[in-house]
């Protein structure tokens, strides 16, 4: 939530800052702004506009030459999306500019104190308190912006990534982070700060991690990282494993479509070197034999992946699994101990709800084995063990390839637990491993047959409600299908377990209600039960769109998918659901990659 970028170096700063904002716009798109240091001691050059980045770009003519600056793309929390509330915010002299991602919880008391000291506030944001506080602290520290930042961070409550520039020190940018992401891009005669590496990937593949409560002070040729006490810390450098083209649309109309079509590759990449089992060293230090309970946490799509993981872990490893919405888990203070294995699932590795729930469980003694797509992010950094998904950068707000990669990771993890605990049979293990290896090819087959979904989806574009039904692992698949449709098409959509229908939801069925049914594998016990559920809704006027690996006479529209092991079916069944949501968003004239009110990487609770 909120994209942050800073550049200092040999190039004219506007270009890398704007380029970074374009790449980070998926993190928030209700306003954007840039501050540049033009001439030592002069007020900063500042432009900011409500609306998408394009609004800001359209007024950027005759921008003065500058070699350092910061930019922000916002997802509003405090104060509506207006020009005035857009970041950067500046001090009353117009020489200090600050951008922020997160929430400052004590901003009301800070504002009262600063107003009493004579500072004039212009916006309704929590962020503006910090710029005035920083301005005073900088004066108290004889113009040392980094020392001022360290002091200010000690006075703030909440979560933040902050970047600041002051016109008395051209070329210097100071940043800080607590519970919100910030990475350093190490260039040659230039350096970058950003919410994530996609902002500077076209310039450098060298990145530095920043830990909790660390302050970073960069110029074109220096990077100093300290803790809040001012102790200089060593650099933790890593190389970014993908290149700029991965973060571009590459000829597709939307990032979402590109990411849907990347799934054969992202699944194959997640499986590479792992189909014969995970290396034992991955969980070194966690006594998996001694684990008595598994708790999976996540939000949204990641939660749905966790639900599928529960079916696999319980069946293949014979351990009881709870799956919890991270935002609910932490605040009900569940019982956790050192016999609990906590599995947080997160694409970004920065989701605040998941992070906070994970910290809670860790403090109580739980061992943490996270599933994450983002190298160097906070959740894997604070875990005992990590299984990385290799989906590459996911830019569209609606998650697609990260979801299928998370499913694959959960299967690998379930197999690993089953083996380590000596529960899974060699036959089943071999069968699953074979089926996993075949998955990328089967997803490819599904993608080759989705074209008719375009016309089919248009038939239902004015439906008031779409229901998704599934049983067993088809139930979380139904939840995921409904979530995708809600966020992209802005339609009422709900996923139900087929068996629950008669306990209430069937009352929603009316003449012509579209029902998307995810059919269990042919000949399974549940296939018959689901077929009965379909008859029940059909008898009440529903139109059935079935996703199945076998013919189904009762379906009004049948979407065939290849056969796979029944637990692995969500990987194939979700692909048409993603395509339906994509096509529905287009049919209804919605912005596919940037759906309203949403932002990727939810870094506030
Ligand atoms: C839905 C979607 C969200 C995320 C959720 C968790 O398409 O993208 O529901 O899945 O916000 O995000 P991560 O996985 O980054 O923790």
- Kindly state if the Cβ of 300 falls inside 6 Å of ligand 1: yes
Q: How far apart (Å, rounded) are the C-alpha atoms in residues 207 and 389?
A: 19
Looking at the predicted structure, is the pLDDT value of residue 413 above 80? yes
CA–chain centroid gap for 272, Å, is 23
Query: Which pLDDT belongs to residue 376?
Result: 85
* pLDDT band, very low/low/confident/very high, at 484 (cuts 50, 70, 90): very high
Q: How far apart (Å, rounded) are the C-alpha atoms in residues 331 and 329?
A: 6
* pLDDT band, very low/low/confident/very high, at 242 (cuts 50, 70, 90): confident
Q: Does residue 2 carry a catalytic annotation?
A: yes
Query: Which pLDDT belongs to residue 423?
Result: 95
In this predicted model, what pLDDT tens digit does every residue of 22-32 receive, in sequence order?
999 989 899 99
Q: How far apart (Å, rounded) are the C-alpha atoms in residues 35 and 61?
A: 14
* CA nearest ligand 1 atom 8, residue: 399
From 75, 179, 300, the mutation candidate for ligand 1 (largest count of ligand atoms within 8 A of CB) is 300
Distance of CA 270 from the midpoint of ligand 1 (Å): 18
Question: In terms of C-beta distances under 8 Å and separation of at least 24 residues, what long-range contacts does 277-284 make, across chains too?
Answer: 277/415, 277/416, 277/419, 277/429, 277/433, 278/387, 278/412, 278/413, 278/415, 278/416, 280/420, 282/385, 282/386, 282/387, 282/416, 283/369, 283/384, 283/385, 283/416, 283/420, 284/385
Q: Which residue reads 């098409």 in tokens?
A: 489
Q: How far apart (Å, rounded) are the C-alpha atoms in residues 520 and 392?
A: 30
Write down the H helix ranges in 117-262: 127-140, 145-155, 255-261
Structure tokens at 32: 């954007």
* CA nearest ligand 1 atom 10, residue: 301
- Kindly state if the Cβ of 340 falls inside 6 Å of ligand 1: no
Query: Which pLDDT belongs to residue 85?
Result: 97
Return the percentage of the chain with pLDDT > 70, whole number: 100
Query: Which pLDDT belongs to residue 368?
Result: 97
Query: DSSP labels for 310-321?
Result: HHHHHHHH--EE
Mean pLDDT of 574-590: 97
Q: Which residue reads 């739980």 in tokens?
A: 366
Q: How far apart (Å, rounded) are the C-alpha atoms in residues 271 and 160?
A: 35
> End-to-end CA distance of the chain, in Å?
11
Query: Which pLDDT belongs to residue 1?
Result: 78
Query: Which pLDDT belongs to residue 601?
Result: 77
In this predicted model, what pLDDT tens digit does every residue of 561-572 receive, in sequence order?
999 999 999 999
* pLDDT band, very low/low/confident/very high, at 604 (cuts 50, 70, 90): confident
Identify whether the C-beta of residue 356 lies closer than 8 Å to the C-beta of residue 373. no
Query: Which pLDDT belongs to residue 333?
Result: 87
In this structure, is the dihedral angle defined by the CA atoms of residues 105, 135, 73 and 150, taken in order, positive or negative?
negative
In this predicted model, what pLDDT tens digit does every residue of 501-531 receive, in sequence order?
999 999 999 999 999 999 999 988 899 999 9
């Amino acid at each position: 939530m909120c994209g942050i970028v800073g550049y200092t170096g040999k190039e004219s700063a506007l270009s890398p800052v704007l380029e970074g904002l374009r790449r980070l716009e998926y993190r928030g798109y209700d306003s954007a702004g840039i501050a540049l240091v033009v001439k030592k001691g002069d007020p900063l050059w500042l432009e900011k506009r409500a609306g998408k980045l394009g609004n800001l770009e359209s007024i950027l003519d005759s921008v003065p030459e500058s070699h350092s600056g910061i930019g922000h793309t916002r997802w509003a929390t405090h104060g509506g999306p207006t020009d005035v509330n857009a970041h950067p915010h500046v001090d009353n002299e117009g020489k200090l500019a600050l951008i922020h991602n997160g929430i400052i919880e004590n901003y009301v008391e800070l504002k009262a104190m600063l107003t009493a000291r004579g500072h004039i506030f212009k916006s309704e944001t929590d962020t503006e308190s910090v710029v005035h506080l920083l301005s005073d602290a900088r004066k108290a520290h004889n113009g040392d912006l980094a020392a001022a930042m360290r002091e200010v961070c000690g006075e703030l409550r909440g979560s933040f990534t902050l970047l600041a520039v002051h016109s008395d020190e051209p070329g210097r940018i100071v940043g800080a982070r607590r519970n919100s992401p910030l990475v350093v891009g190490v260039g040659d005669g230039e350096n970058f700060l950003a919410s994530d590496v996609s902002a500077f990937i076209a310039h450098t593949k060298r990145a530095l991690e920043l830990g909790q409560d660390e302050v970073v002070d960069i110029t074109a040729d220096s990077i100093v990282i300290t803790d809040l006490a001012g102790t200089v810390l060593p650099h933790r450098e890593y190389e970014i494993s993908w290149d700029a083209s991965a973060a571009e649309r590459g000829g597709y109309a939307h990032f979402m479509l590109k990411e849907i079509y990347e799934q054969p590759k992202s699944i194959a990449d997640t499986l590479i070197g792992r189909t014969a089992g995970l290396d034992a060293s991955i969980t070194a230090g966690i006594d998996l034999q001694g684990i008595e309970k598994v708790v999976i946490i996540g939000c949204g799509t990641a939660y749905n992946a966790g639900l599928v993981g529960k079916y696999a872990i319980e069946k293949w490893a014979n351990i009881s699994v709870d799956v919890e919405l991270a935002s609910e888990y932490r605040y009900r203070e569940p019982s956790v101990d050192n016999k609990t294995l906590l599995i947080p699932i997160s694409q970004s590795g920065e989701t605040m709800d998941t992070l906070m729930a994970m910290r809670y469980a860790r403090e109580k003694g739980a061992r943490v084995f996270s599933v994450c797509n983002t190298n160097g992010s906070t959740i894997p950094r604070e875990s005992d063990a990590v299984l990385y998904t290799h989906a590459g950068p996911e830019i569209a707000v609606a998650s697609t390839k990260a979801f299928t990669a998370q499913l694959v990771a959960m299967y690998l993890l379930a197999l690993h637990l089953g083996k380590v605990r000596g529960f899974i049979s060699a036959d089943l293990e071999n069968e699953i491993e074979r089926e996993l290896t075949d998955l990328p090819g089967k997803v490819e087959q599904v993608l080759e047959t989705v074209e008719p979904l375009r016309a089919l989806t248009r038939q239902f574009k004015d439906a008031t409600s779409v229901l998704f039904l599934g049983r067993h692992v088809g139930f979380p698949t139904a939840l995921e299908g409904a979530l995708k449709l809600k966020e992209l098409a802005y339609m009422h959509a709900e996923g139900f377990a087929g068996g629950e229908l008669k306990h209430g939801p069937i009352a929603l069925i009316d003449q012509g209600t579209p029902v998307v049914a995810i059919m269990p594998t042919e000949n399974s016990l549940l296939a018959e039960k689901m077929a009965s559920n379909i008859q029940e809704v059909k008898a009440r006027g529903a139109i059935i769109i079935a996703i199945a690996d076998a013919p189904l006479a009762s379906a009004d529209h049948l979407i065939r998918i290849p056969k796979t092991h029944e637990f692995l079916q969500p990987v194939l069944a979700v692909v048409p659901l993603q395509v339906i949501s994509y096509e529905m968003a287009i049919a209804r004239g919605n912005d596919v990659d940037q759906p309203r009110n949403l932002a990727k990487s939810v870094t506030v609770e």
